[in-house]
Structure 1
Amino acid sequence: MASHKILVIDDSNVIRNMVRDMLPKGNFEVLEAKDGVQGLNLIRQERPNLIMLDFLLPRLSGWEVYQQIQTQQDLQAIPLVLMSGRKEEVTEKLQEPFEYFEFVQKPFDQKELIDAIKAAMAKSKRRPISAPAAAAVPAAAVPVAAAPAESGASSTEVQALKDKVAKMQAEIDGLKKQMSQILTFIKQKLR
């Protein structure tokens, strides 16, 4: 019987099969999701021991799945390996060094995969247990969301405000990414 559940969230069947084939036989039950919505549902239902998350996914991006994970303390504790063919896609949104998760660049070999899994496991153990639930929200936005609580607003209202701030931040990040891609395209055309 498999002792560990690994959830691979990637829209590429090739990558999902590659991960399954590279893992030591018998030790892992590999769960698969082909998009972010399916992946998030499996995270909540199955509580895997490790999540391998592609950064670019249909329906719900890897970035959005990552943000959802960061809003729930019990999900934050799950070791995470982010995957992408372009590291700059990840570093546009998440600054290095990656403190609580590991990154592996596609394509990767078996040694890189195993090393990334081991590093993710070690990093997740270093994560403080009392990490704030709104870790994905920039520190500058927290006082604004917390202000109504001091004036007697209910925790539901505060959470609704935090959710709105997180959604707005995700939209801003998406716009920044689009702007970066446009600038890169223009620079390439000017060469």
Structure 2
Amino acid sequence: MGATMLAATTGAFNAPLQAQGIGQRQDEIIVTASLQGTRTAPTPEAARKELERVPGATGLVEDEGFADIFAQSIGDVLELTPGVFADTSAQRESRISIRGSGLNSSFERRGLTVLRDGVPISRASGATEFQEVDPLTIRYMEVFKGANGLRFGAASLGGAVNIVSPTGRTARAPIALRAEGGSFDTFRGNASLSGKSGD
């Protein structure tokens, strides 16, 4: 009995709605918007707003903060970030720790997951070769401190760092040339060409 009444009630409400839609033309709606950033990564401003919504400690490091320094690794980039300990050994090996994770390890520091455009570049054990990342290939970095890094896996107890690369849409200049020099015959050159085709 209850099922019969429900079916009858539903049919009674649907009949007037269907009658109104027959023969009437709906107004056309056109939605346009300009694409900011890329289809896969937001702009630094949008990423910062998203990180502000995360409960707990997070941070964002843009490339303009380290573009004018001689940064050889992401350790040089992250050393001024609150809550992050970054050090470089005499062999130019980077040691990075968020909230004390992996500080007592002298080899293969664990507890910190590093991602490149959302894809983990850390080993399954949680160890990462930080010196393999060239700072000149970074648009910005998202830093997730402490338990916020667990969204990227159980090996992220100390935190996580997501490195976002520049693309043809987000690169600062279509053509970039860079030369750096210093003592002990130090020299580094870099050239990049970026652009987009189509939409």
TM range (shorter): under 0.3
- What TM-score do the two structures reach when normalised by structure 2? 0.27
Q: TM-score, normalised by structure 1?
A: 0.28
Q: Which has the higher helix share?
A: 1
State which structure, 1 or 2, has the greater radius of gyration over its C-alpha atoms. 2
Higher normalized strand content (fraction of residues): 2
